[in-house]
Amino acid sequence: MTNQPNILLIYTGGTIGMVKDYDSGALKAFDFAKLLSQIPELEQLDCTIESISFEKPIDSSDMNPGYWIEIATIIESNYLAFDGFVVLHGSDTMSYSASALSFMLENLTKPVIFTGSQLPIGDLRTDAKENLITSIQIAALQAKEKPVVQEVGLYFEYKLYRGNRTTKVNAEHFEAFNSPNYPPIIESGVKLKINKPFLLKHPARKKPLIVHKQLDENVAILKMHPGLTANFLNSVLTATGLKALVLETFGAGNAPTADWFIESLESAIKRGVHIINVTQCSGGSVMMGHYETSKKLSKIQLVDGKDITTEAAITKAMYLLGNKVSDALFKTIFETSLRGEMQ
Ligand code: ASP
């Protein structure tokens, strides 16, 4: 069958690719070259599948921008030959990677679906098979000869989310991810329910894929807490090379009103550090100026992170700085949704 969609599986590591050695009880890497013989169910899918693996698969706690560039490069060099991509990835940092790739792949019109699992693929009670099979099925979904999903998604436990809207919320439940501020774009039940209004839309005139491989790592995240001292705040704000700080504030973007606090932020901003206001709540949005406690932040020109996740905020900062966006434009561009990552 020649016109079946052709799907590329990219294995980066993580629990999903592990099998139990029943003699020793230890987990060992699954041989993806033997994928079809190990999971014969895949033969029933209406698509062809090829796979490629990181030379040394990693636990996703070791993920870094260098590996994101590797994933982006694999997609770039196989973009024309495949109709969709499934990235098998450890769940721990999957939301960071899905967010980063969403920014790196500009004008993406093919599905890039991240998935993983809580239990190894070789485990009796594994969630890996369902996650893998449905991710491939979603990557192969076509309507009028075009992919249904034309963005970076994250599929886990019966739901496909927009990747840059997700966050890992549970270390042991099969339902490990959530997308607090954006509904799932596909739900898997007896049928695949596609929530069409929530799919990322592209302009009618197709533009070629642009793969951005410059990411600036001079960024950091600081979570506010009552009792944060001037000493610790200033040591972060004056760290050598710091260009952007994602500040996880309280509630709807609130922070202390004390003069020393505002002055520390203001002097960092004047030195050219971009400070992005993101809520530390798991859902909802920053509303700059809504309370007295955020009016001052607005006045000193903190960047309004609106309803962005911390994962999307830090990777968006790396992407914008890597693209040498000027200091004058950083705030305006950051506050604009580039890949559906914010309202
Ligand atoms: N530690 C693993 C990883 O993130 C957990 C998993 O795969 O879910 O690579």
State how far the Cα of 52 lies from the Cα of 32, in Å rounded to an integer: 8
State how far the Cα of 195 lies from the Cα of 148, in Å rounded to an integer: 11
41-59 per-position pLDDT tens digit: 898 999 999 999 999 999 9
User: Which residue of 19, 61, 172 sits with most ligand 1 atoms within 8 Å of its CB, as the best mutation to test the pocket?
Assistant: 61
Number of the ligand 1 atom closest to the C-alpha atom of 59: 9
Residues carrying an active site annotation: 15
Distance 299 CA to ligand 1 centre (A): 41
59: Cβ below 6 Å to ligand 1? yes
State how far the Cα of 176 lies from the Cα of 119, in Å rounded to an integer: 12
Q: Whose CA is nearest to atom 8 of ligand 1?
A: 91
Task: Split the chain (343 residues) into runs of 10 and give each run's mean pLDDT.
Answer: 86 87 78 75 93 93 98 98 98 98 98 95 89 97 96 98 98 96 98 98 91 98 98 98 98 96 98 98 93 90 98 98 98 98 97
Runs of H (alpha helix) within 57-156: 65-78, 94-104, 128-139
Distance 174 CA to ligand 1 centre (A): 13
User: 19 phi and psi, to 5 degrees?
Assistant: -130, 155
| Amino acid at the residue 144 | K
15: Cβ below 6 Å to ligand 1? yes
User: 163 phi and psi, to 5 degrees?
Assistant: -55, -45
253: Cβ below 6 Å to ligand 1? no
Distance 284 CA to ligand 1 centre (A): 27
State how far the Cα of 304 lies from the Cα of 293, in Å rounded to an integer: 14
Using H for helix, E for strand and C for coil, what is the string for 230-243?
HHHHHHHHCCCCCC
87-137 per-position pLDDT tens digit: 999 999 999 999 999 999 999 999 999 999 999 887 889 999 999 999 999
pLDDT of 37 reads 72
How many contiguous H segments (helices) and E segments (strands) does the chain have? 9, 20
Distance 16 CA to ligand 1 centre (A): 8
Give residue for tokens 């006045």. 299
Structure tokens at 252: 């709807």
State how far the Cα of 244 lies from the Cα of 247, in Å rounded to an integer: 9
